[in-house]
Structure 1
Amino acid sequence: MKAICSTFIAVLALATCAVMAHAEPITLTLVHAASTTHPEHLAALQFARRVEERTHGQIKTRIFPAAQLGSETEMIQKVRLGAIDMDLASHHYLINYEKAFAVVIMPYVFDNYEHAHRVLDGPAMAWLAPLAEKQGFVILSNWEWGFRNLSNNQRPINQPEDVRGLKIRVPPGVGMEASMEALGAQISKISFKDLYAALSQGRVDGQENPLSVFYHHKLYESQKHLALTRHVYYNMVHFISVKSWTRLTPAQQTIVREESKAAGDGMRKKIMAEEDELIARLAAAGVKVTRPDPQPFRAMMEPAHKKIKLLAGEENARKFLNMVADERRP
């Protein structure tokens, strides 16, 4: 009997210690580059609220929007080191750690949003997530950014020749750089947090970003023309440092994953639903909007594809393009 009681007490003590180990709330930092009016920030707020509710206050999230803690490149490196817990950044910024991610931003490979989502949530996620984890990042879910379009303050763009000679800002990295170079643009690599100033000061003629970014970050204030080229699909990835992930219990990890996906799905719906409204608002603000035929632009992308394949590796590019083809619908 004494032995049974002793065993029971020992088990109870261990259980108590386990509970105590997780009694102190965990505060996770989440960084992103979007403005506080952008759907990404609103989705991040939803994620933080729901995780705190479902963990009964055991996990709180402190959000730093608008690249407050550094450039996109700096923030992702801090996540890798565990200095920041979570980030919302594009696959584009994971290329520095795993070249295979370059394939995601090949121009004109996706037919529409639904096609992109099927590929990136399905076979591409199964392939790329383990590669990211080896580099110190746990991918929680895909969020949204949108198809990228081209703006400038010099002339309307109706055909590829209209891009030639324009000085266009692109984010650091080969994806958008290769796309714009294929159209004859002059490339200027400027971090996103410096983009508004660069446009306002005339250091560049234009830039390329999704409609939501163009509008919510007020880039249109110094841009006369917007061409709906939809040349690259660009999504956000919600990821957490492996070091931070291991601090969470399995139950907490499940909640974080579920709420990440829920927030990302909501952001996707918001981005897609507001595009027509944003185009109307931009036109009302004086921006001249053109809708060029994508086929001539697509026909000029072979050099961009070659450059991206060289960076990512031919086998990785072949694997990804097979996924794209498999998920295409009539």
Structure 2
Amino acid sequence: MKKSLLMLVAMWSFAAHAEPVVLSLVHAATITHPAHLAALQFAERVEKRTHGEVRTEIFPAAQLGSENELLQKVRLGAVDMDVTSMNYLIKYEKTFSVVVMPYLFDSYAHAHRVLDGPAMNWLAPLAEKQGFIILSNWEWGFRNLTNNKRPINVPSDVRGLRVRVPPVAELEITMEALGAQVSKVGFKELHQALSQGLVDGQENPLNVIYYNKLYEVQKHLSLTRHVYYNTLHLMSAKSWAKLTPAEQIIVREESKAAGDGMRRRIIAEEEELIVKMVAAGVKVTRPDLGPFRAATQSAREEIGHFAGEDNVRAFLKMVDAERKQ
């Protein structure tokens, strides 16, 4: 009797809509990137588990606008979901800037323990106040530096290089602390700008460098791992409210499953991507990160002033606590 009642409740939960809910999901990655594969997995499993009551249409490669434009559309409910880097939330809530301070995390596992645990409990309510539901953490990776001028082995090798960074003040500050001249070329124009020598280099996770073929127009790759970039699977609070409680549970569960798969793929393939880029002629250096960490201390301090000293202390306490695990 109890089992039958539960089945009836479940069936009612998925029959609560006059017609299926169709959700839009946007992201900026190419269709070969692990982010798109994760999005496909999410869409397929949610539709299956909700018996077709919740479907997802995916728009990859920033088809519907820039990262900032897409996030605003999600906030307004014009787009339902976005897979975007955490830094884009900074314009809505400055506390998020603590996550992109340079040289915070010792490893992927360390970053995941912090961001899936205490940081999520702290930051998710702040995002919700701004109209965003954080479904789960996905992946982007540690950022590394490429250029066409010289190998990077010590911080002084960065000095004077014209380096393209995204329109993110925290990344600009980090590169400037290393002595780079920051350029704000748009990402869609970056490949051409590198090939024409309009900029000397750029910084991105290995998966971005490879899947967007930036390595084809760069001679040197340095594994500086200067900032860990977290990616969030976000949903508009307005869209979230359209789902039944049972559907919300499924969406969260499948978001996490897709994000976990993306993490595994990105981390597992990093050395393979390096080998492929070396085979294409890229010269790779693996510098001692200690001097780079010291050279970017001023960047951490400047970001901290913006984020708020209390916020920095709270976050660093989380980082240190999870380092001891």
Asked if the contact 2:83/2:233 (under 8 Å) is kept, the reply is yes
Higher Rg: 1
- Match of residue 147, structure 2, among 133, 138, 152: 152
Q: Does 1:259 align with 2:276?
A: no
- Aligned residue pairs, count: 315
Give the Cα–Cα distance (whole angstroms) in 2 for the partners of residues 240 and 189 of structure 1: 28
Matched, 1:202 2:189: no
- Give the corresponding residue for 2:267: 272
Could you give the per-residue CA deviations for residues 188-242 of structure 1, whole angstroms, max 9, x where no partner exists? Answer: 1233333223323322111111111100110111111000001110011000000
Change (3 A) 1:19 1:74: closer
The answer for the alignment partner of 1:84 in structure 2 is: 79
**In 2: Cα distance, 1:109 partner to 1:20 partner:** 46
Question: After the TM superposition, which residues 310-321 of structure 1 pair with which residues of structure 2 at under 5 Å, given as runs?
Answer: 310-321=305-316
The answer to whether the 8 Å contact 2:28/2:60 transfers is yes
* Distance (Å, rounded) in 2 between the aligned partners of 1:53 and 1:23: 18
Consecutive unaligned residues in structure 2, runs of 5 or more: 1-10
1:151 touches 1:226 (CA, 8 Å); kept in 2? yes
Q: Distance in 2 between matches of 1:19 and 1:145?
A: 33
Aligned to 1:11: none
| 1:184 alignment partner in structure 2 | 179
Q: 2:73 and 2:18 mapped to 1: Cα distance?
A: 27
**What is the distance in 2 between the residues matched to 1:322 and 1:20?**
46
Partner of 1:10: none
Residue 145 of structure 2 aligns to a residue whose secondary structure is strand
1:169 is aligned to 2:142:
no
- Provide TM-score, normalisation by structure 1: 0.93
CA distance in structure 1 between the aligned counterparts of 2:225 and 2:37, rounded to whole angstroms: 24
Post-superposition Cα deviations, 1:90-146, rounded to whole Å, max 9, x if no partner, equal 110000000000000110010000000000000000000000000000000000001
Matched AA of 1:120: L
Amino acid at match of 1:228: L
Q: Is the 8 A contact 1:167 1:186 kept in 2?
A: yes
Q: Contact (CA 8 Å) 1:71, 1:193: kept in 2 or not?
A: no
- 1:301-327 per-residue CA deviation (whole Å, 9 max, x = no partner) reads 111011111111111111101100010
Distance 1:157 1:22, change over 3 A: same
Q: Match for residue 45 of structure 1?
A: 40
Q: Is the 8 A contact 1:23 1:58 kept in 2?
A: no
- Of the three residues 193, 214, 225, the one matched with 1:230 is 225
CA shift for structure 1 position 21: 4.6
Partner of 2:3: none
Q: Give the drift of 1:174.
A: 1.7
Deviation digits for residues 50-92 of structure 1 (CA, Å, limit 9, x no counterpart): 0010011111111111111111111111111111110011110
SS at match of 1:67: coil
Give, in angstroms, the shift of residue 17 of structure 1. Answer: 10
| C-alpha contact (below 8 Å) 2:101/2:227 kept by paired residues | yes
**Residue 7 of structure 2 aligns with which residue?**
none
SS in 2 for 1:327: helix
3-state SS of the aligned residue for 1:237?
A: strand
Aligned residue in 1 for 2:8: none
CA distance in 1, matches of 2:60, 2:226: 27
State how 1:1-330 maps to structure 2 within 5 Å: 21-329=16-324
SS in 1 for 2:23: strand
- Structure 2 distance, partners of 1:149, 1:83, is 34
Secondary structure, counterpart of 2:79 in structure 1: coil
Distance in 1 between the 2:137 and 2:272 partners? 24
C-alpha RMSD of matched pairs (Å) = 1.5
The 2-side partners of 1:195 and 1:53 are apart by 39
Residue identity over aligned pairs, in percent, reads 70
CA distance in 1, matches of 2:119, 2:186: 27
